């Protein structure tokens, strides 16, 4: 039997999926059969979700019904709201609040399905649980933020789009069309990305035939780790610094001289520019140049920073392909549409929960429990010594 160890499962093909495909050499990402640049800037987030769940675009009536059903689950149960507010009051992170809130999201199921019925667990509805997870996560994050800032909580609205309602709950003001489109482009761009750490975690949990909400909760725990979803915040710090500087090149060169990384460049999968960065750069330009868009001077500064950084990295590390990755333009577009920096990772989760739930459903539809082998490197033939003889 093959005992080759693949640390981190690197290079191991664990299963098949129709949800997304990554070509790291060509810099191509396909979501549900659509090239990312075809989907991200055109679809609403609800349309993208429908594609992931149903493997096709919805009709007008189907989209209206899907949007209405999703919106039904936006409101939090009182206990979920309480735990999210408690996380905010204790100063815990938005990702902690997301994990705790989703862990209690099953309270949004109909009361008739709560607990055990005649000694047997009530039947679960995976498709319904997927909608609960997607619908409630923006409300959880917005509730956390308003509570943390000492602001009155904003109830979700069912007449707004998924992206529009998220922005509305954060600010209490109805967002502009450009803000909604900018956020939708972001949500679509990062909704799924192969068997990344959080998605694979969710699939492993689903493979035990646990419920979708448990799978998503586990995925949030994986995403919280700084090696997975935590870079856009530091990217924004760098961009704010270069925006305020007289000479972008000197600022970036000083960072490299000090042995610092330039955040937002390089990716484990892509050997060329991250296709999500390309899509988000177009979305950011459209947003910042719109009449109701954002701070165009900041955008121009960020573009200059990208150009200078790529030039410096090419000169200093010609052996590496340190092209722009998704975090660089994530920071630019999220800042523009009004997402506070402490919510960047949680907003990533607001997008990726669409992929997590689709993967959980896909796993359950053709399931085999995930059970890899391990290579033992410990000792053998030890003998027991009573404690008084040690």
What is the rounded CA–CA span in Å between residue 156 and residue 72? 10
Please give the full DSSP string across 306-327, using - where no structure is assigned.
HHHHHHHHHHH-TTS---B-HH
Q: Which residue in this structure is represented by tokens 């919510």?
A: 343
Active site residue 327: yes
Strands 28-31 and 20-23 come out as: antiparallel
CA distance 52 to 27: 21
CA distances from 148 to 33, 57, 88, 89, 269 (A): 40, 38, 5, 6, 36
Options 267, 306, 359, 362, the catalytic residue: 267
Q: Are 139 and 75 in contact (CB under 8 A)?
A: yes
Tell me, what DSSP letter sits at residue 26? T
Write down the catalytic residue from 46, 179, 323, 327: 327
Q: Which of 217, 222, 206 is nearest to 359 (CA)?
A: 206
The radius of gyration computed from the CA coordinates of the chain, to the nearest angstrom, equals 22
Residue 359 falls in the annotated catalytic set? no
According to DSSP, the β-strands at 116-117 and 20-23 are unpaired
Helix axis angle for 94-103 and 126-148, nearest 10°, is 140
Give the residue ranges of DSSP H helices in the chain: 36-39, 45-54, 60-71, 78-89, 94-103, 126-148, 162-171, 177-189, 197-207, 212-223, 226-229, 232-244, 248-257, 275-289, 296-316, 326-337, 344-365
Residues acting as catalytic residues:
267, 327
């Amino acid at each position: 039997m093959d005992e080759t160890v693949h640390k981190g499962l690197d290079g191991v093909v664990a299963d098949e999926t129709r949800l997304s495909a990554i070509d790291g050499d060509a810099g191509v990402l396909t979501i549900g059969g659509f090239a990312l640049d075809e989907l991200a800037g055109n679809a609403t987030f609800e349309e993208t979700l429908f594609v992931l769940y149903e493997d096709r675009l919805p009709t007008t009536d189907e989209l209206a019904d899907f949007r209405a059903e999703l919106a039904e689950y936006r409101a939090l149960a009182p206990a979920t709201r309480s735990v999210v507010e408690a996380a905010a009051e204790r100063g815990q992170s938005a990702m902690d609040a997301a994990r705790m809130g989703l862990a209690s999201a099953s309270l949004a199921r109909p009361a008739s399905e709560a607990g055990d019925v005649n000694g047997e667990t009530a039947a679960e509805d995976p498709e319904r649980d997927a909608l609960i997870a997607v619908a409630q996560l923006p409300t959880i994050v917005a509730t956390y933020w308003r509570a943390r800032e000492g602001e009155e909580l904003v109830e979700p609205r069912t007449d707004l789009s998924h992206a529009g309602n998220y922005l509305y709950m954060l600010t209490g003001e109805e967002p502009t069309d450009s803000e909604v489109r900018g956020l939708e482009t972001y949500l679509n761009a990062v909704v799924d990305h192969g068997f990344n750490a959080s998605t694979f975690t969710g699939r492993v949990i689903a493979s035990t035939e646990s419920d979708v909400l448990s799978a998503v909760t586990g995925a949030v725990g994986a995403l919280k780790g700084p090696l997975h979803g935590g870079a856009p915040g530091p990217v924004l710090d760098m961009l704010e610094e270069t925006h305020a500087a007289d000479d972008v090149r000197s600022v970036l060169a000083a960072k490299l001289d000090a042995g610092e990384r330039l955040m937002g460049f390089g990716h484990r999968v892509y050997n060329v520019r991250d296709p999500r960065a390309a899509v988000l750069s177009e979305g950011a330009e459209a947003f910042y140049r719109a009449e109701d868009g954002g701070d165009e001077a900041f955008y121009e500064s960020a573009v200059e920073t990208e150009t200078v950084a790529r030039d410096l990295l090419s000169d200093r590390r010609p052996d590496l392909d340190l092209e722009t990755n998704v975090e660089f333009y994530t920071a630019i577009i999220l800042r523009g549409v009004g997402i506070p920096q402490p919510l960047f990772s949680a907003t990533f989760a607001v997008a990726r929960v669409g992929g997590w739930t689709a993967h959980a459903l896909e796993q359950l539809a053709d399931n085999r429990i995930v059970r890899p082998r391990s290579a033992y490197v410990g000792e053998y033939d030890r003998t027991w010594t009573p404690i008084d003889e040690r």
